[in-house]
Amino acid sequence: MEQKYKRKTKRILSGVIAASMTAAMFPAFPAMAAENTHVYSFAGYDVEYSVTKEWDNARTVEVKVTNTGDKPIKDWAFSYNAGGEISSLWNAAVSDKADTTYIIKNNSWNYEIEPQESVNFGYTLTGADADMPEDFKLLSDSVEAAAGFDIQFNITESWDTGVKGEIVIINTQESPIDDWRLEFDSDLVIDKLWDGKMIGSADGHYSVACEKWTSSIPAGGSQTIGFTASKSQPEANASNFALSCSSGKIFAQSEVSDAGTGIIDDEYLAKLVSDGTVNVIRNENGEISTIDGKFTDETVNNEQDAANVLNHASGIFSSDFTADAEDISVSVSDDETFYRYAPSVNGIKVYGGQIILAVRNSEVTGLTSSYDRKIEEVNLTNDISDEHASQLALDSLMESVDDIAQAVSEKSGLDKSEAAQLLRDSLTTDAMLVVYSGANSDPELAWVVSVKNKLQFIDDGDTKVNIDYDDVYDYIRYVLHDVDNKYFICANGDKAGQILYEDTNKTKWTQASAEAVDLLGVNRSFSVEYKEPGFLSSAKYRMKDTGRNIETYTTSFIPILGTPLLPGSMLQSKNNTWTNAAGVSAHANMEKVYDFYNNNFGWDSFDGEGALIKATVDYRAPLFIIFGNTEYYNAFWNGEQFVFGDLGDLAGAVDVVGHEYTHAVIDYKVFEGDGDYISRGLEYKDEPGALNEAYADILGTFAEGKTGADKWLLGEDSLMPIRSMEDPSLYDQPENYNDRYTGDEDNGGVHYNSGIINFAAYKMMTDERTQQITDEEWANVFYMSLNRLTTTSDFLDARGAILCTAKTSGGFNFEQLQAVKDAFDSVGVTEPDCIHIVLSCPEGSGYLDSHLTGPAVNSDGRFHVSFLGRNYYQDGTYMSDNSVFAAELAYDDSSSYCHEITSIYSLTPGDYCFYLHDYANREETRSTALSKSGAVVSVYRGSSDTPMKLSDGVTDAVFTPTSTKTGNLWSVFWIHIEQNGEITIVPKDNYSNHIWAETIGD
């Protein structure tokens, strides 16, 4: 039954901590703490202002705020004269500015400063002409106000267990109420709010703050906050309303972004980049790869909320993009939640192309995207059946087990072809049609075929049951028991039937580094299981750590043939005496690696949920002849357990154990899909596979825990080192992306190319700017960054993921983040070099159009990008199905605001000309509308939020029209690019008249 009632309460704006905040407005004389550092002491807080670096007319500034009071400082913000222009701001955001006076506020995750705790933020300051700020004015919490407000509490719908309602705040003052916060008591359990943000709820007391778009209630106006709630009483009540507001802004509030209305587009992101709020990385196609920072005020608490955010940002993905909540899976790591959207095309699932939304405390902290808009252009006509695809997958597998077919033939007396058919009949397949959007390839329709062994066996933990080595089916059961392969097979076109990718890593051995540890007599401590003595038996022990759920085995072999059986036989002892040194080392080192992941990250076992960890030592490769020997110097993770060869003492190397363990962790941290359709891990080929190897090396090194020069060597305690993070070239690995291997061997160079990322990791960790960062903090950055990777992520994606994590989870300052960027730059993993030209106009400025002309990429002509032809491709056309952008009008606003972004992706040498055309007044030869429009044109390079400089190296490339000239075409500037890549920006500021837009630039 619906019930409605209204509660009206009149109060004076609360002054809960007015006295302390008023006292805080008067600073003590700034005291010199150290060279280039001042400490300002206020009532309730101290501010330490430090200049850490100076050059030319710029400096790097760090600010530390310490709460010296006994109450938390919430929603902090400071107003002060910075003495120059602020850019590259970290750990805070610009709320407002006038000249060089700024309001700097928190970045949501550092919203509150507890008593005796501190927050830090910093930035680059240019054009600085003041030694130190004179004052820091704290704008936060509630202050005394001279007028009041009314509250209306309305229940609009009611049912047995819940209600829907609204709280209306009516401003009865003659001035606005800004940055408000409302507190009240209620017996309702509020589960959802809109147009307000829940910042506190305990024991029936609620604290609700404004959203960005509801932050100001005008004089005589009102603000409505909607909610849904569950109830325990028949009547829904609320009482004790108290409203507090900001101490006020010293100048007008800046324009509210469209994100409050749910619109997240390229223009909006460009504003956030220019404000220093987020960093955006685009791939070589100009598509979003990473958004680092809070780019929306929407809260995310479930899959539907995540889908809403992605749909509000649909324009940055493609014009037809729509995300459904049912296609989103959730994973939680530490205090961050990651929502992974797996796209579909007309109901066909897409392999690859995930979008990951990172959320902390319900607030969005970033986004990673492998989404390829070309999936919408894929031909979905299927030319081959699932049966045909399954046969092709079986054909491929059978080619790799020819030696097993020979052994079956000898055992059974069948000829080899009949034996091969027997093997084939022992396998089962399952096929699913997908859009395959793998690494380094355009999306294609494909069958993904899973191939498994259908002959099952029973395992009691120690021995196999019903083993009959003379029975050919038992033999097949064991030699094929771990087959679990996936084959991606093109389903149409010229490549129909071609295998695009074979995920056979689970049945292949992977190369690993080694370390011989304690196999020559050094005692190790580890856990085992003990069995009480029984009738006619003595005490019995087995190598199993119950607490960590680790079991260690030795390999079993089929008699005569020598075929290895996994996991083998668990190591046992009657008197707790252990003679298998490899088993002792593997067991103890696995415990150490387990503890590393569990203690540092709270990650229980390789799957995060306490899965059984099996390690097998003394492994030899299959042997099908009586004479000879096949020894094995290697280690691998086969998708189910860890295996160590019988040569090289690999089980004794902690970094080898950590490397293989990390491969398993990656399988469960990076995944796609749900239910029966799931792909785990970084795709084991090309750049995703090299990332898989590099992450295993890096986190394996942290698990080892060494310091000094040996820290950077992999396998230094074995027969010989196998890799060096400090100098990859010592072991024939490339140190730069330009030298990477691009062939087919080694799954596209997964071990070879891993050296590039290893070298970048070494450089960032040894940079003098990062020496305050501990190994534990570095390990957390790399581990947490896995949450931002998709199964097909490449090196550029890893750069974005590590930078995002370093900022949000690691709390790196500006200089430290720059060290990470410089490390990636030095190994050639750079953000695609491009130029962005941003046009911003005030409302009512008319219809101004951006026009860019420049040198054609493959001829002597020139291209022209405008609303008439927005996309210019690297194949020299304006329409292309398989080429990437050379230049584009990335954002075209046809409203009266005239916000537009023009981007150059291929920096072809030559002259580029940028014009603004007043299309509305194109036939007026004496019009001054353009020169009086208030338009601002800014030029940026790459993902930088700082404008490029003119040839003098000082003046920003920011242009405004001359307000006294006539003409409907403004020639704004030229960009000249030399053959060596040097870029010069030349202001033009010429006016003329032009009627036909398509002839501009001729």
Does residue 871 contact residue 885 with C-beta atoms inside 8 Å?
A: yes
Residues whose CB falls within 8 Å of the CB of residue 565, separated by 6 or more in sequence, listed in order: 464, 478, 555, 556, 557, 558
Residues whose CB falls within 8 Å of the CB of residue 171, separated by 6 or more in sequence, listed in order: 149, 177, 217, 218, 219, 220, 221, 222
What is the rounded distance in angstroms from the CA atom of residue 253 to the CA atom of residue 96?
A: 6
DSSP assigned state of 995: -
Angle at 640 (CA atoms; ends 638, 645), nearest 5 degrees: 45
Which of 269, 378, 374 has its CA nearest to residue 315? Answer: 269
Torsion of CA 934, 863, 372, 832, to 10 degrees: -80
Classify strands 348-351 and 427-436 as parallel, antiparallel or unpaired: parallel
Q: How many residues does the chain have?
A: 1002
User: For residue 601, with 0-12 CB atoms within 10 Å meaning exposed, 13-18 middle and 19 or more buried, which class applies?
Assistant: middle
Return the residue matching tokens 């106000």: 145
Q: Which one of the listed residues 38, 587, 663, 751 is annotated catalytic?
A: 751
Does residue 89 contact residue 123 with C-beta atoms inside 8 Å?
A: yes
Return the residue matching tokens 């705040």: 169
* Long-range interactions of 624-629: CB distance < 8 A, separation 24+: 624/403, 624/406, 624/407, 624/561, 624/562, 624/563, 626/560
Does residue 567 have a cis peptide bond before it, meaning omega lies within 30 degrees of 0? yes
What is the rounded distance in angstroms from the CA atom of residue 128 to the CA atom of residue 102?
A: 14
Q: Which one of the listed residues 336, 660, 683, 716 is annotated catalytic?
A: 660
Q: Would you call 69 helix, strand, or coil by DSSP?
A: coil
Q: How many CA atoms lie within 13 A of 61 on its CB side?
A: 25
Return the residue matching tokens 């980049």: 273
What is the rounded distance in angstroms from the CA atom of residue 870 to the CA atom of residue 860?
A: 21
660 in catalytic set: yes
What is the rounded distance in angstroms from the CA atom of residue 923 to the CA atom of residue 235?
A: 68
659 in catalytic set: no
Beta strand ranges found along 743-865 (DSSP E):
835-840, 848-855, 862-865
What is the rounded distance in angstroms from the CA atom of residue 713 to the CA atom of residue 706?
A: 10
Beta strand ranges found along 335-482 (DSSP E):
336-341, 344-345, 348-351, 355-360, 363-369, 427-436, 444-453
Does residue 72 contact residue 114 with C-beta atoms inside 8 Å?
A: yes
Q: Would you call 205 helix, strand, or coil by DSSP?
A: strand
What is the rounded distance in angstroms from the CA atom of residue 694 to the CA atom of residue 706?
A: 18
What is the rounded distance in angstroms from the CA atom of residue 935 to the CA atom of residue 852?
A: 16
What kind and span of H or E run contains 544? strand 544-545
What is the rounded distance in angstroms from the CA atom of residue 43 to the CA atom of residue 24?
A: 5
What is the rounded distance in angstroms from the CA atom of residue 128 to the CA atom of residue 170?
A: 43
C-alpha distance from residue 664 to each of 120, 566, 661, 692, 785 (Å): 37, 17, 5, 10, 16
Return the residue matching tokens 């704004």: 972
What is the rounded distance in angstroms from the CA atom of residue 801 to the CA atom of residue 751?
A: 21
What kind and span of H or E run contains 414? none
How many C-beta atoms surround the C-beta of residue 499 within 10 A? 17
Catalytic residues: 660, 751
